[in-house]
Amino acid sequence: MAVINSALEGIIVLDLSRVLAAPYCGMILADLGAEVIKIEVPGKGDDAREYPPFINGESGYFMSLNRNKKSLTLNLKHPRGKEVFKTLVKHADVVLENYRPGTMDKLGLGYGVLKEINPRLIYAAISGFGQSGPYASKPAYDLIIQAMGGVMSLTAHPGGLPTRVGSAIGDIAAGMFGAIGILAALRAREVTGKGQLVDVAMLDCQVALLENAIARYWATGKAPLPTGNRHPSITPFQAFPTKDYYVICAAGNDKLWEKFCQAIGKEELVHDPRFESNRLRTENIAELEPILFEVFRQKTTAEWIEIIETAGIPCGPINTVDKVVNDPQVRAREMVVEIDHPVAGKQLIHGVPVKLSDTPGRVRQPAPVLGQHTREVLQKYGLTAEEINLLAQEGVV
């Protein structure tokens, strides 16, 4: 039986992506052990290298999305650059890009061309709206997708302005679904021997994240409205104002509701006909909320968490980022790690969320500086030092 150190050991990914969605996808694959070669424009690189915050001149934004990768600079508009790329494709398992649909075809490097060079190639294209449909040629960023995908219409307090989710979930969801698609295609290749096109649209992924909002629309014929920090279908399942801040409580069934009422000293609510079932509690939230708010304002967040946790009810604080990175559970699970960047120095970054018992993913190296691995990669795949020098003189690398 073969032994490997990481799940994707031996998988070679040519990562042509920039900014967020596809770089996040490439980072997931790199964390799981793939050799991810980030191909960047000579002298400029990924657009994200220009995004703040900057640490010793290096973009913290870029570094948070491109760890465990190698950086190769290559001008894909130059004829020699195209030749070099095609040489790399012969050895690759995956090409990952997030250009607007049609861009790679214009360069003469689309899936139709590359699959002839390497029939086993998985070609993953992440775009705003996908490779087909009336919006296919439109550009997109996370904000556009959050708006068009419906999540902004749900993220607000009742009567408030539609609100962007603070994390770029339009991009991140596409990156995660992209990684799932690539892994599925790699599994299919084990059976068929052939690669395929993985087409991931940010808008598609955002629609997939709407989950029960679509069910609620279908059931009622009405577009769901924002509900603030409470769940639209489960009650109580929300934030409560305390003496000093807020606490989150989630009583997801009638048994927990009974325990919840006992814990907060409101046993009479258990048999109140307005609140006897989850359905009634949700329908009568306007009557229940003021009662609960008055109770919760009498103690601090810490006091309530101790009381409610002791009763066995899911609850927690609303942590700011400084608290998250110092949380003992987060630390115990190695979800923040320190890494030493050659220019920016020590960095605190998020860890790998998928915990594999035998072939764990890990943060092996920081994000690369622009072109850091150009010579290493090109020599590995057959070019001589003299050939690389000539490519550099011609502005190809």
Could you say which of 15, 93, 142, 171 is catalytic?
171
Distances in Å between the alpha carbon of 241 and those of 76, 235, 245? 56, 16, 6
**Contact assessment for residue 29 and residue 11, using Cβ atoms and an 8 Å cutoff:** yes
Which pair of tokens denotes residue 192?
């068929």
Active site residue 171: yes
**Contact assessment for residue 151 and residue 213, using Cβ atoms and an 8 Å cutoff:** no
Catalytically active residues are 171
